[in-house]
Amino acid sequence: MTLLGISHYWFVIVLMMLGFYCVIARGNMIKKIMGLNLFQTSVFILFVAAGKVIDGSTPILRDGVEVYANPLPHVIVLTAIVVGVAITATGLALAVRIQEAYGTIEDDHLGDDVDGDDD
């Protein structure tokens, strides 16, 4: 196995771990949702990379093409992209609601007294 044959997976892992770090270490809720999206996109890349065939082609039937990429991972990723947007919308709506109720979307400041807040 060559390094190029495995490097995609390692890049995906780096992206995934950056998203994971963003979700657990950042206090801002919009940042957390962005981290979730980073994680999610890295999973999409992993799935699409699993369906890739070298010297293959986009899975649309046409003359003169013999090798196609595997269409099944693409279908799953299409579904996941739409579900991801649904998650993003719900999470951002929650963030807006928390901002309305608490005056902040930072984890560490949710317990603060609103009157004493200097921002």
Instruction: Quote the DSSP letter at residue 119.
Output: -
Distance CA 109, CA 113 (A): 9
Query: In the complex, what is the shortest distance from the CB of residue 109 to other proteins, in angstroms, rounded to a whole number?
Result: 7
Distance (Å, rounded) from C-alpha 57 to C-alpha 35?
32
In the complex, the smallest distance separating the C-beta of residue 46 from other proteins, rounded to whole angstroms, is 9
Residue type, 18: L
Closest distance between other proteins and the C-beta of residue 94, in Å? 6
Q: At 118, phi and psi to the nearest 5? A: -90, -5
